[in-house]
Amino acid sequence: MTFRSCWFGLLVFLFSFGLSIFAMGTGWSWGDFLISEEPQPAQFRQEEPKAFWTPDSGFILAWKDYRLGELSYFAQRFDSRGMPVDTNFQVIGNAGMAFLPDSTGMIVGVSEACRRFLDLCISYYIIRGQIFRFSDQLEPPFEIVPDLPIESYPLQIHLITLQDGFFLGINKGGTISLLKLNRNGKVINTFKNLNPVRHASDFSIMSNPKNQWVLFWSNTEENFVNLYAMFFNEEDSVIARNINVARYEPHLFTNEIKPRKLRAVVVRDTAFEFFWADAGTSSLNSV
């Protein structure tokens, strides 16, 4: 072993040891943990897990599951250390999940159904909700949007919390609609066709502690990606409409427009910071 390789090995050891000390000092946990209690070897498929944070600094993972012989959804709750709480439980879906400060949560699931018309089968999306209370567990599912015709465009769902309720955003075929629901899942307000320029490729919604909220969306026009925003006050009235937040050119060398996944986070009481990630890269950008 050369002198240089000895120094390299020592540096790797010290770096790893330092990370371990840092993890213990900050409460970070390193390593894998088991999500579900599937038998070994596995006898059914489990795929597409999604994580949702809970008010107690823990999280819930929900995934597609075939343990019942057909597609279903199961979830597992974890505490802030990544330790499982109770066991797997069946949920309506994993399209969205959000929790109020008192741990009352709402789960959103999307399924497909066939409506018969003469000899034709017309396919529809059915968007269902389910209220989740840590003390009372899951309440029976209910329909939010029963008949949403399926098109070639994918259906995008965003679910966020307000002070005492939820916002459900739906992007269908590039047209964005929002549903405002109370803490029991009842629709109390509807906002349809919010983006005047259709064909939104992605969107995000977020509210601040004052119940003011904003809708962000992106689309492609003349080979440019445009990012738009629409701002609402606490009474759901528009205070700024169709603001062109940013405009991006195609990639310099390939002339390729990369899809962008949009997110928005609250940074102050009355300010929003908008994040997006370019497909195929690990970069995170903001405006």
Tell me whether residue 283 is exposed, middle or buried, using C-beta atoms within 10 angstroms of its C-beta: 0 to 12, 13 to 18, 19 or more: exposed
> What's the mean pLDDT in 81-98?
90
pTM exceeding the 0.85 threshold for the entire prediction: no
> What's the mean pLDDT in 189-211?
80
The amino acid that residue 46 corresponds to is Q
DSSP reduced 3-state for 101: coil
Distance in angstroms (rounded) separating the CA atoms of residues 79 and 203: 30
Residue 32, Cβ neighbours under 10 Å: how many? 6
The amino acid that residue 255 corresponds to is N
> What's the mean pLDDT in 55-68?
90
Torsion of CA 193, 197, 199, 200, to 10 degrees: -80
**Per-residue pLDDT tens for 27-45?**
444 445 566 665 555 667 7
DSSP reduced 3-state for 166: strand
Domain map (residue ranges) of the chain: 1-31
- In this model, does residue 123 exceed pLDDT 60? yes
> What's the mean pLDDT in 85-114?
90
18 vs 154, higher pLDDT? 154
The amino acid that residue 68 corresponds to is L
- In this model, does residue 257 exceed pLDDT 60? no
Quote the pLDDT of residue 217.
Answer: 86
- 23: confidence class by pLDDT, cuts 50, 70, 90: very low
